[in-house]
Amino acid sequence: MKRLIERTICRAGAAGLTMVLLLSGCGLRKTAGPDEEAAAERRVRADVAFLAADELEGRGTPGRGLDLAALYLEAQLAAAGVAPAVSGSYRQHYRVGSYQPAEAEVRVRVNGKPLSRQDYLFINFGRDPEKGPLAFPVVDGGTGVVAEERRVNELASLDLRGKAVLVRKGAPWPLDPAAVFGPDRAMGKLMAATVRGAGLLVYVCEELDRGEEAESKFFSEMKNAPVAFVREPGIGHVSALNPILVARPSAGVKAGDRIEITLKAPVTEGRAANVLGQIAGADPKLKEEWVVFTAHYDHVGMRQAGPGEDGIWNGADDNASGTAGVLEIARRVARAPGKRSTLVFFTSGEDRGIFGSAWYAAAPVVPMTQVATQFNLDMIGRSEGKVQGIAPAAASLFEEAVEAGRRRGIEVIPDQQPSWRLIYLTDIYHFARAGVPGIFFFTGTHPDYHQVTDTADKIRYAELVKIIDVAYEVARPYVDGRARPGYQRPAWFVTPE
């Protein structure tokens, strides 16, 4: 692994970048005055170049590339003077199982009668095959749309706990074919049902695989994506999503039925890790409180590719950009610690179902009650002068970010896709669920999202550094002891009991 790091550093250097990682006995280069911004950009470029290199194999959870990325982050934190946060280690390990959907045997029965394989598509989000069959009574959820902004909530009168909710494709308005995560699409309906306790979404639509529809394209991609799940005892289902059964009307599933799904698959065991560092606060009392910076360092890994094809999802924007941002903030705080302590938290498994942050929430290094605020950086590399500041439970943080953006020459704008409820899909979720006020910086999706074309050469580095500056400027007063921001849970923010 050390040789692989050295080889990747050489490749990054050949691309004209300055790599600040040395494997032993090295600190950060010192810069001052007007050169600091240029030095910060060089560091961030080097971080992204390393993390998004082909040698890291897309940083899938679990995987060799993810482990290599963790080793890099450890070395960078140590070089910056950031101490380990997990009993003398930087890593918080958890066990992960995975299997290939093509190798799985899936059987679906309704009232004891098997469904034809032509009538359904089963998509598993993190269900361990060894946990036994899924078996639920079916309730009718109409179209399953929950969109409070439009005064629509078709699940409001239903008790979904321990049920399979049957919903039909469509909404009380025309569908936007590009809005895969909207409340009127399968993913939005799945989120709404899962957080209300449903164990399964049965999504009824005419076609399962029409590539010209964004939603069906999503189904097609997901049925081939490896399934990963946490194997640790007592954690159970940790992602924000439960399995979904996409069914044709000919399947004949209706309210009052009992549906049973059995899943058998050869499981590969692996291990993944969160990477955590800490910077002690200087105040005798406030050092017991924490400001947390998070970014997920994983991505979606690799796929089989033919001759001349690219099979590596490099994940430069998603999320080498945010990881580089948190690294840079950690360097700055380490040079000038504040009154509060700082937790630097790189999560794994985010792209597989927020596994890493869920595992952390079950076994936190710092009690959630002692966290003053959280700053999450995820996909911040494609700015054209703007960045979203998503703070659904902490309006004051958004206002502070707007002002910092004005000073830094970048416009901070509100959530541009509020109906997508991105809080459920990112590492801010488990902190917000615990009542921690936080803000999530995000420059939006783009055609390279979860594609092999998300590469380091497409990152807008000057703007990326400005976003890092904004996040640091907003966070710094809280590191230095400012009263924690207020927290107001949105009415739509429903979490499982």
Three-state SS at 289? coil
Q: For position 496, what pLDDT does the model report? A: 74
CA gap 430, 428 in Å, rounded: 6
pLDDT at residue number 28 = 38
The reported pLDDT for the residue numbered 127 is 87
Task: Kindly report the three-state secondary structure assignment for every residue of 192-260.
Answer: HHHHCCCCEEEEECCCCCCCCCHHHHHHHHHCCCCEEEECCCCCCCCCCCCCEEEECHHHCCCCCCEEE
Q: What is the pTM of this model?
A: 0.89
SS3 384: coil
The whole-angstrom distance between residue 172's C-alpha and the CA centroid of its chain comes to 30
Q: What angle do CA 252, 253, 256 make, to 5 degrees?
A: 130
Question: What pLDDT score was predicted for residue 177?
Answer: 72
- Give the C-alpha separation, 353 to 194, whole Å: 13
DSSP state of 312: B
Looking at residue 337, its pLDDT comes to: 98
Maximum distance among all Cα pairs of the chain, rounded to whole angstroms: 73
Residues 6+ apart with CB under 8 A from 62: 96, 98, 228, 270, 271, 272
Q: Which of 356, 320, 354, 329 is nearest to 448 (CA)?
A: 320
Q: How far apart are CA 474 and CA 102, in angstroms?
A: 47
Per-residue confidence (pLDDT) for residue 27, from 0 to 100: 36
- Among 102, 90, 449, 464, which residue's Cα sits nearest to residue 300? 449
Q: What is the pLDDT of residue 304?
A: 83
Residue pointed to by tokens 């999706």: 445
47: its two tokens: 């971080």
Could you tell me the two tokens for 423?
A: 């809080």
Estimate the share of the chain in helix, then strand, then coil, as percent rounded to the nearest 5: 35, 20, 45
pLDDT score of 427? 94
Residue 263, classified by CB atoms within 10 Å of its CB into exposed (0-12), middle (13-18) or buried (19+), is buried
pLDDT at residue 142, rounded to an integer:
97
Give me the average pLDDT of each 10-residue run along the chain (497 residues): 45 37 36 73 98 97 96 98 98 94 95 95 90 96 94 95 95 81 89 93 82 62 79 60 92 97 95 97 98 97 88 97 98 98 97 91 95 98 97 97 97 94 92 96 95 97 97 98 96 83
